[in-house]
Amino acid sequence: MTTTRNHSSAFNLEVDRRSPIPVYIQISDALRARIQSGKLAPDSVLPPSEQLCEELGITRVTLRQAYTVLAREGLLDAQRGRGTFVRRSKIERTLGQMVGFSEEMRTWGKKPGSKTLSFRRSEPSDEARSFLGEGGVYCIERLRLADAVPMAIEEVQIPVELCPDLDEFDLSQRSLYDILDEVYNLRLLRCDQIVSASLPSPRQRKLLDIGPGVALLNVTRRSFAKSDKPASYGTTQYRGDLYRASVHGERRASPGKRG
């Protein structure tokens, strides 16, 4: 008697050759369900292709088709020489809102963390000077973490005159926004943000633990305090494999026109 089903012990996965649904779709549907239910956790590695193909009685072409479907959906990541991994879900960065990294991560149910890379007094960069004006700034560069995973590299410049002795605080233990608000009464009320993309430098790849093919989502932020006073200038480089930008827009009809 000829069987029409093949079973994989790795995922308790079956394919039915009598089904009108193509085999690669059956496989991608089953793996997607396991990923979305949490049975396949982020960063988990899938069994070797040879093993799955043998257990399911399929060709590598069929398995590659299934993986391609899931890769396009952002669920799988194939890395040459390492295997195929379940991707972490992406954080959606809503550019119409002004929130700090720590607040954002807590909203997503993650534990925020921070590693200070440098904290010094210096002259402002040319870009910051055009916004903040002359005068010394605190230049703070930090590696931002979520559940101990590197997420972004953040650099911010703040005028020394607005927050003297800021360098005495431990930013790994306390939110920068909270310090500015509670200690210096410097509440950031609004910001302008510019988004761009770039490929990471070797240093950025090492800090963020990413490969050369992962792009960066760069957000440059100019923040204002009360009375529209320029208060900080910063750039954050987010991992493109873990972040995506979201912008809400509305179309306003011109007076006297329709359609």
**Residue-level pLDDT at 1:** 36
Q: Where in the chain is the domain with CATH 3.40.1410.10?
A: 91-246
Asked whether residue 190 carries a pLDDT value surpassing 60, the answer given is yes
Mean pLDDT over each residue of the chain, to the nearest integer: 84
Going by C-alpha positions, the residue among 142, 172, 173 that lies closest to residue 155 is: 142
Domain 5-86 sits in CATH at 1.10.10.10
* CATH class of residue range 91-246: alpha beta
Confidence at 2, pLDDT banded by 50, 70, 90: very low
For 21-72, write each residue's pLDDT tens digit.
899 988 888 888 888 777 888 778 888 888 889 888 899 999 999 998 888 7
Confidence at 249, pLDDT banded by 50, 70, 90: low
Helix axes 23-37, 60-72, angle to 10 degrees: 50
Asked whether residue 247 carries a pLDDT value surpassing 80, the answer given is no
- Report the range out of 3-17, 61-75, 95-109, 194-208 with the highest average pLDDT: 194-208
